[in-house]
Amino acid sequence: MFAKTLRRTLPVALAALTVVGFTAAAHAPTSLKNAYKKDFFIGVAINGQQISGQDVKGDAIIAEQFSSISPENALKWSLLHPQLDKYTWDAADKYVEFGEKNHMFIVGHNLVWHSQVPGWVFRDDKGNLLTRDALLERMHDHIRTVVGRYKGRIQSWDVVNEALNEDGTLRQSLWLKIIGPDFIEKAFQYAHEADPQAQLTYNDYNLENEPKRNGAIALIKKMQADGIPINCVGIQGHDHMDWPTEEQEDSTIAAFAALGLKVSISELDIDVLPSAGPITADVSANLQNQQTANRNPYVNGLPDSVQKDLAARYTMLFHVYMKHRKEMSRVTFWGLSDGDSWLNGFPVRGRTNYPLLYDRQLQTKPAYDAVIEAAKYKAK
């Protein structure tokens, strides 16, 4: 009797579930990490509120959707090591615990950069610039301490960030001026020494542009010739609606993969606003004086046509990533939702931007569906 009732009612119940969209009961719920699980990690940069657990809804989405995390700021030198003898581990420890709890590929960002590094790093107690040896020692201590603390727990380190100029020459940072060009090789050696298993990455923006890409290739070839342990290149991916082209993205990934390295898209977002000067992700750029109404056209929402164009841009990019899926390590979005994005304040402060897959209410956008769909793409 019971079995008969069940036979009769089950199809009805299942049909009802289907109508209200719960066929998900039969399949796993859609997620970015599942869609790409055979291909590469899908990461997201997480901010202080997400690390500390204050963004409850955001954290739930991050845990459900992503297989990798990067710290937006928590591991940068100025936050982690603000004074010579002082490390502030709290946020960094919580960040790593969050990743471990959710079984994620955990990224350390970053060790050596010209920005978000305190002035004292380069000077002695009288305010004079350090000697090469003294700065190398300071760099060594920092890397040994930070990488050592998370040995075996942080799987991938952005060892050097943004060492190149647009023309492919080395940026005139204090690292370069004081130590010389081998500051990069030294940083990788120190990181390898502190955690021989970790993936070590050179990370930069605008590598899709040929002069800078050629500079990176020359740098990496020299490192390889010198026996330096580098395993991966991070193409930041701070993209625009008209840059990079499909060909640029494709040939850039191919060029780095040809060096025998893994490739990450390490900081993906797509700026939908009118460009406010030359394309750059140089955090010191400030085009504040250009803030006029036509530079901030979508204060009241993104028009459907632009939503569609944004989704199409994501489709194009993910088709290229899928074409290279065997060479890719991860694709990391620089922020969870549009409201979290640095692009609301860069390079012009106070604009309303829409670069990511989740809107300000943490609802998925058409760009999210486009990325899920692109996982089915198989290049010919």
User: Catalytic pick from 72, 208, 249, 267?
Assistant: 267
Q: Which is nearer to ligand GLA, 39 or 267 (CB)?
A: 267
Q: Which residue in 161, 173, 337, 353 binds ligand GLA (CB under 6 A)? A: 161
Comparing C-alpha atoms, which of 60, 59, 67 is closest to residue 32?
67
**Catalytic pick among 72, 162, 185, 249:** 162
Q: From the CB of 162, what's the least distance to ligand GLA, in Å?
A: 6
User: Count residues contacting ligand GLA (CB under 6 A)?
Assistant: 8
Spatial neighbors of 347 by CB under 8 A, at least 6 apart, are 276, 277, 280, 285, 286, 287
CA-wise closest residue to 117 among 143, 98, 99, 96: 143
Q: Are 214 and 206 in contact (CB under 8 A)?
A: no
Our answer to whether residue 246 is catalytic in this structure is: no
The only residue of 254, 283, 287, 362 in contact with ligand GLA, by rule CB under 6 A: 283
How many Å apart are CA 223 and CA 220, to the nearest integer? 5
What DSSP assignment string belongs to 51-113? Answer: HHT--HHHHHHHHHH-SEEEESSTTSHHHH--BTTB---HHHHHHHHHHHHTT-EEEEEEEE-
Angle between helices 304-323 and 246-257 (to 10 degrees): 30
Within positions 186 to 215, which residues make up the interface with ligand GLA, using CB under 6 A? 205
Rounded CA-CA distance 261/326 in Å is 11
How far apart (Å, rounded) are the C-alpha atoms in residues 88 and 71? 15
Does residue 342 bind ligand GLA (CB under 6 A)? yes
Residue of closest CB approach to ligand GLA: 342
Identified binder of ligand GLA from the candidate list 185, 195, 239, 267, rule CB under 6 A: 267
Using the minimum distance from each CB to ligand GLA, give the nearer residue, 109 or 324. Answer: 109
- Binding to ligand GLA by CB under 6 A, coded x per residue (else -) over 222-251, reads --------------x---------------
d(CA 75, CA 156): 13
Compute the least distance from the CB of residue 282 to ligand GLA, in Å: 8
Backbone angles phi, psi at 69, to 5 degrees: -130, 150
To the query of whether residue 267 is one of the catalytic residues in this protein, the response is: yes
Per-residue interface string for the shown chain with ligand GLA, residues 49-88, x marking contact by CB under 6 A: ----------------------------------------
* Residue 264 in contact with ligand GLA, rule: CB under 6 A: no
Check binding of 338 to ligand GLA (CB under 6 A). Answer: no
3-state secondary structure of 368: helix
Compare residues 161 and 201 and give the one whose CB is closer to ligand GLA: 161
Q: Please give the positions annotated as active site.
A: 162, 267
**Binding positions for ligand GLA, rule: CB under 6 A:** 109, 161, 205, 236, 267, 281, 283, 342
